[in-house]
Structure 1
């Protein structure tokens, strides 16, 4: 009987220490130097590292984000002014490296986008960007009292 209790307690202590740990940071300077470790909450089974590039005219800014996520998909996405590349992994502290910057190599594909007036504008795709998304929404205006 004592052996069963000892084995049970050992199992509880062993499993309690196996929560996923990821690096976390949010840097608007483009570098995650001094990143912290975090223990992921229940249900968060992956570590993520994302690099976002915003370009407006001649001004470019870079943002790095790292942390625990419940679901993650590696790849890149192009919103026009903002392009983001994401790397995902699922072992302790596996997101030490920054995600690579989104590719600068045009791949010949294009998607349509809307600017408020028309939806016939085209957006050039880069690297592994191979799908267009269509999203609709409703602008809900808050009623004033």
Structure 2
């Protein structure tokens, strides 16, 4: 993926530069967002269908390069992820993803669940995601449990993703 760099003077209170790369599906459709931020984390999260990596720095133009794609470097960790009607898919974590994550949320009348791999830094920051009711991270292989779900989880993934892209 090519890089496009536009110089931007950060507004007051936004002293960090951030880059986030999102990959949806196996087709490797990617989107990169570079911007100013008040706070951000270095790390990645992977829900199987949706992967996001972020990089944060605090010097001028330090986010000129794209985030390295951790998906090519497996680290041996395994977590459950959710598919169509089941959360028993086994996902192989990569890069700095050293935790498993489980998040639940309610959107309208639908209760949604996502599971996957996450970096410790991203997991630590998830406590402030207000639209998601229950986020838990754990360290052991497959520690985020395998249970069935009946609803799509893309809305919940998008909620988590939008938090990290905006903050």
User: Same fold per TM (> 0.5)?
Assistant: yes
More helix by share: 2
User: Once superposed, what is the RMSD of the aligned Cα atoms?
Assistant: 1.9
What's the TM-score, normalizing by structure 1? 0.65
Determine whether 1:67 maps to 2:35: yes
1:53, 1:115 → 2: CA distance?
16
Query: Structure 1: where are the runs of 5+ without partners?
Result: 1-29
Counterpart in 2 of 1:124?
A: 92
What's the TM-score, normalizing by structure 2? 0.57
Q: Is the 8 A contact 1:84 1:102 kept in 2?
A: no
1:116: Cα distance to partner?
5.4
Counterpart in 2 of 1:47?
A: 17
1:50, 1:74 → 2: CA distance?
9
Counterpart in 2 of 1:6?
A: none
Match runs of 1:2-41 below 5 Å: 30-33=1-4, 35-41=5-11
Task: Give the structure with higher Rg (CA).
Answer: 1
Give the ranges of 4+ consecutive aligned residues of structure 1 lying more than 6 Å apart after TM superposition.
none
